[in-house]
Amino acid sequence: MTLREEAVALPELRPVPGRPFGVYIHVPFCITRCGYCDFNTYTPAELGGVNPDAWLAALRTELQLAAERLAGPTVDTVFVGGGTPSLLGGARVASLLDMVREHFALAPDAEITTEANPESAWPDFFDAARAAGYTRVSLGMQSVSPTVLGVLDRIHTPNRSAAAAREALDAGFEHVSLDLIYGTPGESDDDLLRSLDTAVETGVDHVSAYALVVEEGTALARRVRRGELAAPDDDVLAHRYELVDARLSEAGLTWYEVSNWSRPGGECRHNLGYWDGGQWWGAGPGAHGHVGAVRWWNVKHPNAYAEMLARAALPVGGFELLDPDALHTEVVLLKTRLRQGLPHDVLNPAERRRAEGAVADGLLVSADDRFVLTPRGRLLADAVVRTVLG
């Protein structure tokens, strides 16, 4: 299958000195498509010519072109996501990191994360990834309820996620994260609490918990539209979030972003780079990058991606130049979601007055020259941001 597209020329990229720099690599392969997922992923039946080795060859070319374009900034974090990176196997995941090292200098304390799905990550995968230099693993757990996993079209068994987390810890990973989804139709409070307790009992130092979102174009959206499943209820989602926060806080995991909790030192530095003004190159089909005032995205289909790189062209599908107003909006949106909060001096006088109004409404607190979301404010974080921006 050939999907010939013309690459879009990127404008000059000017990294902002002093800000952390990351590399995100998107692995587009999945065995099956989960019903709720709208990520840029492809099953074997949807690919006509690009296999993992061909994709790795194309990726090597993109990383080389990226390093030439950026004049080789030091990389503070690497995040291999997807898709299902663990489908590559340990040897390919190790070679992927070698490619990054070939073209970029890694900071001595670089955080290097790979995502993994429980059904495709086993002790040999974790051993190989750890030996290659990965420092962190993020596992898609979602739930321990068979009913919930069935609705989400997850193919791993309820106990496999916890076993995989323990295997990663046994392989020597100090930082292991489990991702949960709450609010799935048919989920009970007890289902969620069992999932939280299981995650805590594994000994991982990081948990992410996301409310189920019914994305247009997904199998889940079609089932909701046909009336087969109920749409997530906002009041139920708020209640479930409170359960998540209470149970994880009791276990010593503290929120540091609205949907993320960790033990001290377990925060995901790569994601903090997204939220706190960092810059990154996004490599792989459909990956997004952001350097200076330029945000861009690669073409989505792996075949088109590989075809462009075979011509030594960056596989850019489009870009936008962020003006000062857009950059300001992003700063307010992202920093407000962090436990460290939004610095007062980021806001103009009108925005600061509106933020003080949110303090009076119990949605923010003001301390140490920062506005920080209250527990109630976290439930309404997007609304708080809209209020502050006016």
Contact status, residue 215 vs residue 231, Cβ threshold 8 Å: no
pLDDT at 294: 96
- The answer to whether position 308 is within a domain reads no
Does residue 310 fall inside a structural domain? no
- Higher-confidence residue: 51 or 208? 208
Q: Which residue among 276, 295, 311 closes a domain? A: 276
Cα separation, 261 vs 372, whole angstroms: 16
Report yes or no on 371 lying in a domain: yes
pLDDT at 2: 46
Residues 259, 334: one domain?
Answer: no
Do residue 141 and residue 30 come from a single domain?
yes
Instruction: Confirm whether 376 is domain-assigned.
Output: yes
Task: Say which DSSP state 78 is in.
Answer: E
Cα–Cα distance for residue pair 193/234, rounded to 1 Å: 19
Mean pLDDT calculated for residue range 110-123: 95
Residues 196 and 87 in one domain: yes
pLDDT in tens, 170-212: 999 999 999 999 999 999 999 999 999 999 999 999 999 999 9
User: Do residue 197 and residue 70 come from a single domain?
Assistant: yes
Residues 237 and 342 in one domain: no
Strand segments, DSSP code E, in 196-335 are 206-211, 254-257, 260-262, 279-283, 288-291, 294-298, 316-321
Of 201, 151, 206, nearest to 180 (Cα)? 206
- Residue 150 in this model has a pLDDT that exceeds 50: yes
pLDDT digits (tens, 9 = 90+) for 222-249: 998 999 988 999 999 999 999 999 999 9
Please report whether residue 13 resides in a domain. Answer: no
Residues 6+ positions from 225 with CB-CB distance below 8 Å: none
Query: Looking at the structure, do residues 104 and 217 belong to the same domain, yes or no?
Result: yes
For position 3, what pLDDT does the model report? 54
Domain range for residue 348? 324-389
Same domain, residue pair 339 and 263: no
Which of 249, 276, 303 is a domain's end point?
A: 276
Does residue 304 fall inside a structural domain? no
Do 227 and 343 fall into the same domain?
no
Name the residue among 6, 12, 53 with its Cα closest to residue 292. Answer: 12
% of residues, the chain, pLDDT over 90? 82
pLDDT at 6: 75
Domain final position from 256, 276, 296: 276
Same domain, 192 and 251: yes
Average pLDDT over residues 252-278: 97
Count how many domains the chain has. 2
pLDDT in tens, 99-109: 999 999 999 99
User: Both 78 and 151 in a single domain?
Assistant: yes
Distance CA 164, CA 149 (A): 16
Shared-domain flag, residues 55 and 178:
yes
CATH code at position 211? 3.20.20.70
- Is residue 384 included in any domain, yes or no? yes
Which residue in this structure is represented by tokens 């990294």? Answer: 15
pLDDT tens digits along 307-340: 999 999 999 999 999 999 999 999 999 999 999 9
Say if residue 121 is in the same domain as residue 224.
yes
Q: How sure is the predictor about 36, in pLDDT bands with cuts at 50, 70 and 90? A: confident
Does residue 181 form part of some domain? yes
